[in-house]
Amino acid sequence: MTAATGAVAGIPQPLAVRLVDQSYVDGAWQWQLAWYTERPLTHNYNVSLRLLDEAGQVWAQFDTQPGYGFRPSSSWPTGQWIDDWLALPLPDGLPARATLMVQLYEIGGDVVLNRRLGSWADGAFQPQQPNFALPQEMTPQTAVFRADDTPLMQLHGYRWQQTETAVTLTLYWEALTVIANDYTRFVHVLDASGQLVAQNDAMPQANSYPTSQWSVGEIVADTVSFTVPPTDFQVVVGFYENLGNAWPRLTAVTAAGSPYPDNVVPLDVNKEE
């Protein structure tokens, strides 16, 4: 699947969606969205509201056409925001933390828009807002990722927590420019012989925060967890574009511009406190 560009720092892109308001009525959350297109759309796309936990598991989902079929995307006027109201019934026993996503997609085809609308924490909903501050404590690690010669995002560092059997790794990315595509972030765990023993390949933040949604200068905290191998291991990270039949990696370079071999960035996890 491929993804189109979306709203960046509040400026409408060729296709965009934003959250206008929300309310809780009769056991279901009601969401007021607004759609935008700068060019006429020939397809009648479906919209999917999804609630994901921190591991990316779907807890609630509702699919329909915009406006329950009364606002088909092929009828949207260009250059203006179009209001839409949708509901998402929630099951009992929701996780303490969850993310609300919206997708616009062609049935049997591509996802053309994929957006994170906000998140729940202990029962309270917070609309998605970019963060521009790095944490005070982290292990510094610099890498810049480029498409052709254009710097797209930078790794500033990470936090690392390890028990006898598991690891939690939080990476801190910065968007260096408007990113038009949705790139896949990979975290690979290699054993002492260089063999892959664990991996997490997904959009950042448990598949919920595509790179095309990042604002310029935004700091994105991206957490993954995996089981620790019984022997010595190394962790490497990077980005690639999922083209369906090819997965070209973004070029990874140091702060001085020197290339990382194979466009993968090794993390010195032994230095983490």
Q: Is the pLDDT of residue 259 over 50?
A: yes
Instruction: Give this prediction's pTM.
Output: 0.81
The reported pLDDT for the residue numbered 12 is 42
Judged against a pLDDT cut of 70, whether residue 112 lies above it is answered with: yes
| Mean pLDDT (whole number) for 246-253 | 96
**106 and 145 housed in the same domain:** no
Closest CA to 210 of 104, 123, 90: 104
Average pLDDT rounded to a whole number, residues 80-95 = 88
Per-residue pLDDT, 62? 93
What is the pLDDT confidence band of residue 248, given thresholds at 50, 70 and 90?
very high
Asked which of 127, 152, 185 is the last residue of a domain, the reply is 127
Residue 261 pLDDT > 70: yes
Q: Which domain-ending residue is among 80, 101, 127?
A: 127
In the predicted structure, residue 272 carries a pLDDT above the cut 50: no
Q: How many structural domains comprise the chain?
A: 2
Token code pair at residue 133: 């501050």
Shared domain for 80 and 51, answered yes or no, is yes
pLDDT tens column, 3-26: 333 333 333 457 889 999 998 877
Segment among 4-8, 35-39, 76-80, 189-193 with least mean pLDDT: 4-8
Sheet with 150-162: strands ordered across: 219-227, 166-175, 150-162, 139-147, 251-253
User: Alpha-carbon dihedral of residues 73, 78, 81, 85, nearest 10 degrees?
Assistant: -10
Residue ending a domain, among 79, 97, 127, is 127
Does residue 173 lie in a domain region? yes
Amino acid at 252: A
Over 70: is that where the pLDDT of 2 sits?
A: no
Domain residues for 146? Answer: 139-271
Instruction: Evaluate whether residue 148 is within a structural domain.
Output: yes
**Which of 136-150, 196-210, 258-272 bottoms out in mean pLDDT, i.e. has the lowest?**
258-272
151 and 174 part of one domain: yes
SS3 assignment for the chain: CCCCCCCECCECCCEEEEEEEEEEECCEEEEEEEEEECCCCCCCCEEEEEEEECCCCEEEEEEECHHHHCCCHHHCCCCCCEEEEEEEECCCCCCCEEEEEEEEECCCCCEEEEEEEEEEECCEEEECCCCCCCCCCCEEEEEEEEECCEEEEEEEEEEEEECCCEEEEEEEEEECCCCCCCCEEEEEEEECCCCEEEEEEECHHHHCCCHHHCCCCCEEEEEEEEECCCCCEEEEEEEECCCCCCCCECEEECCCCCECHHHCEEECHHHCC
Predicted confidence at residue 15, as pLDDT, reads 87
pLDDT for 7 equals 36
Note whether 123 and 180 are same-domain residues: no
